[in-house]
A and B are shown apart, each in its own frame.
Chain A
Amino acid sequence: MHARNYWGKTLTTIILTIGGILVALPFIWMILSSFKDEKEVLSIPPTLIPKHPTFHHYIELFQNLNFGTYFTNTLIIVVFSMFGLLLNTMAGYGFGKFHFKAKEFWFIIVLMTMMIPGQVSMIPTYLILNKMALTNTMAGIVLPGLVAAFNIFLIRQFMETIPDDLIEAARLDGAGEFYIFFRLIIPLSKPILAVQIILTFIGAWNSFLWPLIVANDESLYTLSVGLSLLQDENVTNYGLQMAGAAFMVIPILIIFIIFQKYIVEGFNFTGIK
């Protein structure tokens, strides 16, 4: 019985290892190819490890292409997305811990927006931005995705577990509503906020559709839009393409590997079991 179990585990590990290599293959290939020169990257049979490793492509991204600007814009979007998370948190707290008129009605509206697919609201959202004269501005890129109903819902689920007495006691001590939110609620919400911060960061860093639709000037391009432009303009320069992709992907992978345990734990808050 034990022997069978042992072989079962070994077989499982082997299958998972092969699967893992296949899943990781595009990443490995991207990183290795980004250090190959233009000839080597197209050589058949391909080399695995670069023969003459070069940083040339990475330097070119910043010297000849505008990756510095794209990087700055992407960071600006990340900062705004954190403001969006603050709004989500406020709304989650409002729905979770207050009683007010028409609360049910507004919460149902919030839940309903979860069912509206992005592509369905794409055209009218653009028309609204156009009417507000926000096309080709940073505000126009950021606003459509600033708040997310699903995140409000998750945060509210968490807020409901905070005891009312705690908030009540703070009020009796004379604390203002602002003070309670920032000094009591936010520190108590660390577990849910940790996962939200990471996922919001990743989402903002990766955002593609709205920057693409709204930004006309290259000065407003984000990394994803810039990378897509690079691909169109350097069709066969795969070394450069891989370097651009790696610059986009590796920071996120590092952040993810450091903080992944919060994401995994975060799935317990969804209550799907």
Chain B
Amino acid sequence: MYKLKSKATPLFFIGPAVLLLVIFSVVPILISIGISFTDMNLIGLANWAQIKFVGIENYIDLFTDKVFIKSIGNTLFYVIIGVPLAVISSFVIALLLNQINKWLSATFRIIYYMPSITNIVAIAVVWGFLYNQDYGLFNYILSVFHIDGVAWLENPHIAKLSLILMAVWKSNGVSMLIFLAALQSIPRSQYEAADIDGASRWQKLIYITIPAMSFATFFVTVTTLIGWLQFFEEPFVMTEGGPLDSTNSMALFIYQEGFQFNEFGYGAAASVVLFAVIILATILQFKLRKSE
């Protein structure tokens, strides 16, 4: 233990950051839970005396609110389709990148990572153009092969899939780098031993590579799952939840209630539900991992 001139020194270093985190992360959660039991709205914002305690009314309303129920269903759809797609595609890209020479691999790595650092609004603008029914590149390419144009964002069923495609395109980069780091840390001697035993490519993949990547896969799956449960930006910038709420997600529902309808109490109740879902999903994943 060393002697400090002043006991305040460590506080000086951690103080500002911790204070900001408490104000903008810890306190908000407590407020969220608090106001979710009130009818807080624009009137309440102007005059706090107008805020009424309503018990669990917001929560009862939520689960009879058709839009909210639909948002839950859509979020589940995003998670069930999006998570496996995102995890598997980034895993495959990493596997392939690991097999080619360094220079090529570095070049492709840059290309595959680019979407991850691109602003979501710019993505919405560009993909909105690509997805355009009449002037979009995608429908033109389909027409070259004599396939009818697709209503990428206008058809309620297809719109969800269009958003998933775009989100997977955007999210692959980070997971790919994590998988690559994990792949490169597998000792070469294991593969050499397998070569001597005459193992095939598949056998090496199934008996060496995949087991060695189990922690990285777990980490990527958990973070991807949490990310997709909060699916927000893509429907927000591309479809605003439409058509007919078919792309609305739980996170977007919270935003709409809070900032479009100014129903802060009701929106906060929805955010508490989302928070509970995220925590449950995370605990479940850790439980599954333990039992393995």
Contacts and interface: CB of A to CB of B under 8 A. Distances in A.
Interface string B244-265: 0000000100110011000010
A25 B112 CA distance: 11
Main secondary structure of the interface of A (DSSP, over half): helix
Interface in A188-243: 202, 205-206, 208-209, 213, 223-225, 227-228, 231, 238, 241-242
Interface stretch (B59-67, B79-87, B129-137, B156-164): B129-137
Interface residues of B, number: 93
Nearest to B20: A147
Given A45-B140, A121-B28, A121-B32, A206 B120 contact: yes
Contacts, number: 277
Nearest to B1: A99
A127 B226 CA distance: 25
A133 to B, nearest CB: 13
Given A171-B2, A252-B119, A118 B230 contact: yes
B22, B117, B229, most chain A CB atoms within 10 A: B117
A246 B122 CA distance: 8
Nearest to B123: A26
B225 interface: no
B1, B113, B216, B272, most chain A CB atoms within 10 A: B113
B255 A122 contact: yes
19 contacts: A8-B99, A26-B126, A30-B126, A98-B9, A109-B22, A117-B274, A117-B278, A119-B232, A123-B28, A124-B32, A143-B20, A177-B9, A228-B121, A231-B128, A242-B126, A253-B118, A260-B113, A263-B177, A273-B215
Interface of B: 1-2, 4-5, 7, 9-14, 16-18, 20-29, 31-32, 35, 45, 93, 96-97, 99-100, 104, 108-115, 117-130, 132, 134-135, 137, 140, 169, 172, 177-178, 181-182, 185, 201, 215-216, 219, 226, 229-230, 232-233, 237, 251, 254-255, 258-259, 264, 267-268, 271-272, 274-275, 278-279, 282
Closest 8 CB pairs of A and B: A94-B13, A91-B17, A121-B28, A124-B28, A124-B31, A94-B14, A98-B10, A113-B25
